[in-house]
Amino acid sequence: LLMSDTQLTSRQKDIAHAALELIDQVGPQGLTTSALAHELGFTTGALFRHFNSMEHILATCVHLLTTHMHQVLTAPEPEASAPERLRGRLLRISQASAQIPGLCSFMFSTQVAHVLPQEALVRVMTTMTAGRERMLKTLEEGQKEGTIRQDLSPEQLAPVVLATMRHIIFIERSRIAERLAFAPSAEQLTETLIALLQRREAS
């Protein structure tokens, strides 16, 4: 079901992007043929002139989203300390989150496993695993260079980093910081995380 961007027609991309916008608003289980057709101003029959099934639409959404996120998570980074590389990665994720509708729902929603075809679900999990493995490697390198705290293992620190990443994505997609004065920005969350991760000098 999954394909390369060059195999997608412009209309298929338009439909997939509309589906991602709808998922961003109502979650994966809210994506129905009738809701998507209404969003696009199509009949439901018109959708299936471009896709074989709703699974095909979902798989295409996943392809577009995970291709973008894989590029963000595995982008080449300048030579710098581990905290600086993590800071840059989280800021890239923040920027990508503002640009990619549906990201939070696909990457973190518990509903995803119930609606995605297996191949698409594997692709989501593979993308998340690649990001986690790179993050663990960066934490390990930071401990070796003495810039990341050593009282906790990379595996113990990883959930804190991933939870912060998830909250950054939520903040960017929901724009909650614009509505609640006390809500931190993505930049503030990133700096707080870096401060928590950095090694403290013995007093």
> Average of pLDDT values for 182-194?
88
Stated pTM of the model: 0.80
Examine the pLDDT at 91 and tell me if it is beyond 60: yes
Question: Which string of b and e fits 130-145 if b means at least 16 CB within 10 Å?
Answer: ebbeebbebbbebbee
Closest CA relative to residue 167, chosen from 195, 149, 187, 140:
187
Q: How far apart are CA 85 and CA 36, in angstroms?
A: 39
Which percentage of the chain shows pLDDT scores above 90?
37
**In this predicted structure, what is the pLDDT of residue 8?**
86
The per-type count for the chain, helices as H runs and strands as E runs, is 11, 0
Mapped onto helix, strand or coil, the DSSP state of residue 108 is helix
**In this predicted structure, what is the pLDDT of residue 1?**
45
Domains belonging to the chain, first-starting first, are 5-197 (1.10.357.10)
Examine the pLDDT at 89 and tell me if it is beyond 70: yes
pLDDT tens-place string over residues 152-171: 999 999 999 999 988 888 78
Mean pLDDT across the chain, nearest whole number?
85
- How many other C-beta atoms can be found within 10 angstroms of the C-beta atom of residue 163? 12
190 with 88: CB under 8 angstroms? no
- How many other C-beta atoms can be found within 10 angstroms of the C-beta atom of residue 196? 12
Q: How far apart are CA 167 and CA 103, in angstroms?
A: 12
- How many other C-beta atoms can be found within 10 angstroms of the C-beta atom of residue 129? 10
pLDDT tens-place string over residues 42-86: 888 889 999 999 889 988 988 888 888 888 888 888 889 999 999
> Average of pLDDT values for 30-43?
90
**In this predicted structure, what is the pLDDT of residue 2?**
46
Examine the pLDDT at 4 and tell me if it is beyond 60: no
DSSP 110: T
Examine the pLDDT at 6 and tell me if it is beyond 70: no
85 with 161: CB under 8 angstroms? no
